[in-house]
Structure 1
Amino acid sequence: MSVFEGFTGRQKRSANSRFQRTALRAAAEPERWAACGHLPEPNGRTVIPTLHLMCGLPCSGKTTLARQLASTHRAVRLTPDEWHTRLFGQDADSPEHDVRHSVVESLQWEVAVQVLYQNVDVILDFGFWSKSEREDYRSRGDEIGAEMRIHYLNVPEKNRDRHYLS
């Protein structure tokens, strides 16, 4: 049973099938994966980390699912809203809010790259509302040799409002 059931609508894959797929890719292109910094583990297996993108509107449950995934996959979760609030407080009405948020996301991407190079999965809890943004990060992940998984949460507006009010 996959932890993604009911959340993504994508084909479910067991941990074993993920390992098999990763092993096949690494065996077919060993120079590429080594060049990306993904070296074999002490047991001889090549591990390719996964970059998880949380996609959905505000209050759709992205962070809740990201926390579950982080625990299940022993992944690093990067949520800009948490960093932003700690650094700048609740500044949604501030003219600098969007610039600050972009800086936080940029810093988190730098952290994500370093973590992925250590063969550790990363969860970016950015929202990824636009297709162009998803494609941008898909391309970035591919450049560094990471697997990619998009988790799309399609929650009706009335349920998002209820989540926000609770």
Structure 2
Amino acid sequence: MTGPAEPQVVLVCGPAGSGKSTHARRLERAGRVRLSFDDEAWARGYRTHPLDAEAAAEVHAHLHTELVRLVRAGRDVVVDTSFWSRASRDAYRAVLAPTGAPVVVHLMDTPRDVVLERLAARRGTGGDDVVVPPDLAVAYLDGFEVPTPDEGPLVVVPGVAAPES
């Protein structure tokens, strides 16, 4: 667990291929519990993205339940999903509001060409390696709503490092 001055919940935010899972795993190694949308979707048998609305809602509902359970148990948590829109980030903040848990967004700041290169290299071997066709990759990048400090605490994380094993 982290010290009392640090946020209890980190929402790792960025488009597919930006390095969210690599960053979330670093935070996990530092003591946080990692909740991953992609890993949960993969475990439920979903192999392509985007998930339909019903499947996505099912996965998010599971993550919401686990997140609240962990926070109430005194655990520090990192949530690994795109949080592509302010509404998606606000939904997690609303779920956490009754707990009083502090929330901070970590925005992956990864150059567009690096994101596209990473996505082109995917082979579909796991939750964080889901194949994203080039046209969908561009749509994800173009539709991404960058968080701003008016939403609350925001940390910008350089996302250019190669994935760690």
Pair in the same fold by TM > 0.5: yes
Equivalent position of 2:66 in the other structure: 111
Equivalent position of 1:147 in the other structure: 102
Q: 1:78 aligns with which of 30, 35, 53?
A: 35
- Give the Cα separation in 2 of the matches to 1:164 and 1:127: 14
- Give the Cα separation in 1 of the matches to 2:75 and 2:119: 32
* CA drift at 1:149: 1.4
- Give the Cα separation in 1 of the matches to 2:81 and 2:49: 16
CA contact 1:51–1:147 (8 Å) conserved in 2: yes
Q: 5+ unaligned residues in a row in structure 1: which ranges?
A: 1-14, 23-48
Deviation digits for residues 66-119 of structure 1, max 9, x if unmatched?
Answer: 0111111x11111111111121241438xx733212201111110110111111
Output the amino acid matched with 2:86.
Answer: K
Equivalent position of 2:86 in the other structure: 131
Among the aligned pairs, what percent are the same residue? 25
* CA drift at 1:142: 3.1
CA contact 1:105–1:126 (8 Å) conserved in 2: no
**Comparing both structures, which one devotes a greater share of its residues to helix?**
1
- Give the Cα separation in 2 of the matches to 1:92 and 1:139: 25
Q: 2:16 aligns with which of 58, 64, 68?
A: 58
Q: 5+ unaligned residues in a row in structure 2: which ranges?
A: 122-165
The alignment's C-alpha RMSD in Å is: 2.1
Equivalent position of 1:69 in the other structure: 27
Equivalent position of 2:49 in the other structure: 92
* CA drift at 1:154: 2.1
Deviation digits for residues 35-75 of structure 1, max 9, x if unmatched?
Answer: xxxxxxxxxxxxxx711101111110011100111111x11
Mapping of residues 40-51 of structure 1, within 5 Å:
50-51=8-9
CA change 1:106–1:164 in 2 (3 A) is same
- Give the Cα separation in 1 of the matches to 2:49 and 2:36: 16
- Give the Cα separation in 1 of the matches to 2:95 and 2:49: 28
